[in-house]
Chain A
Amino acid sequence: MYESEDALIKGLVNGEDAAFRAAIKQYQVSMIYLARNLVGDKIADEVVQKAWFSAMKAIPRFEKRSSLKTWLLRIVANEGKTRLRKENRMTSLEALTEADPAFATRFDDTGHWETGPAQWDADSPDELMTRDELKACMDQLIEALPEMQGATLNLRERQGYSLKEICNILEVSESNVRVLLHRARTRLFRCIENFEQTGDCCTS
C-alpha cells in the first residue's frame, strides 16, 4: 500500500493507521532481535515498545540521512542503552575493546603457532549446527556475550548490516565496531575449538 519509503514516512507523520501497521509489520522483528541482544529476552518487547513511542514522536523531524530501518534500530539501541545504564548493567566500551590475549598463549616467540588450530568436523556453519549439543552450547555463549558484542555480531552476521551502518545504529566508532565484532567471533571460535577437542561446552 505504501510504494516507497518516502510515502510510508509521510503516512507515519500524518498519523495514518495503515502506515503504523505497515511499519510495524516490516521492522518489528529486526527491532526485537536488536533489543534482545542488548537487554535480554525478558524486557526486549518493552524496550521496543518504548522505541516506537519515541520514534513516532520524532518522525516529523526525521531527516532521512539514513534508511527508516536504520533510524528505527538506532532508537532501539538508544532505548536499550538507557535501560542498561539505569540498571547498571552496561559494560563500558573501554573494557570491551582493551587488549585481549585471546590467542596469545598459542604462539611461540616468533609469532608462529605453537600448536595449530584443530581441524573441525564440519565445513560450514550449518553443518556445525546440526549437532545439537554444540548448538546448545553456542546458544548459551551468545546469550552470555556482553551486550554490545552480541548486538554487533547480530547486526553483522544475522541482519547483514555493513560496519558503517552498525556504527550508525550503535553510535560507536567504526574501529570499535571492528574490535567488538572480532572479539565476538574470537569467542565463538575458541568455544567451538574447545568443544571439538574436549566435547565440553566452554564456561567462560
Chain B
Amino acid sequence: MLSCKDVSETVTDHLEGSTSFQDRVALRFHLLICKHCRRFYQQFQIAGGVSGSLGDEVSEPTDDEIDALVRKLKARN
C-alpha cells in the first residue's frame, strides 16, 4: 500500500509523468481515500507554479543594446 510519505516523495515524478501505470493507479486510489494527500498534491502544484511569476522581469534588449553586442561580437571574431 502506498503511504502518505510515499506520496510526498514521489509527487514530482508523478507530475512529470515519469511513473509507471501501476504507480499512477496506486496514487489515484490513495488520493481518492486520503484528503490530506489530495490537498498536498494540489498545493504542491500551486507551489511550483508561483516561480513562474517571480523575480525581476528581464526586458527585451533594445536596438541600441543589440547593436552594441553585435559590434563586440564582430570585433572579437
Contacts and interface: CB of A to CB of B under 8 A. Distances in A.
Contact of A178 (B12, B43, B47, B61): B12
Contacts, number: 138
Interface in B1-37: 3-6, 8, 11-13, 16, 18, 35-37
A117 B43 contact: yes
A163 B46 contact: no
A32 B16 CA distance: 25
Q: Is the interface of B mostly helix, strand, loop or mixed?
A: helix
A111 B3 contact: yes
Given A143-B55, A189-B44, A103 B5 contact: yes
A120 B39 CA distance: 9
Given A15-B77, A102-B8, A157 B70 contact: no
Q: Is the interface of A mostly helix, strand, loop or mixed?
A: helix
B69 A24 contact: yes
B47 A126 contact: no
Interface of A: 15, 17, 20-21, 24-25, 28-29, 32-33, 36, 41, 49, 52-53, 56-57, 102-104, 106-107, 110-113, 116-117, 119-120, 122-126, 128-129, 135, 138-139, 142-143, 153-154, 156-158, 163, 178, 181-182, 184-185, 188-189, 192-193
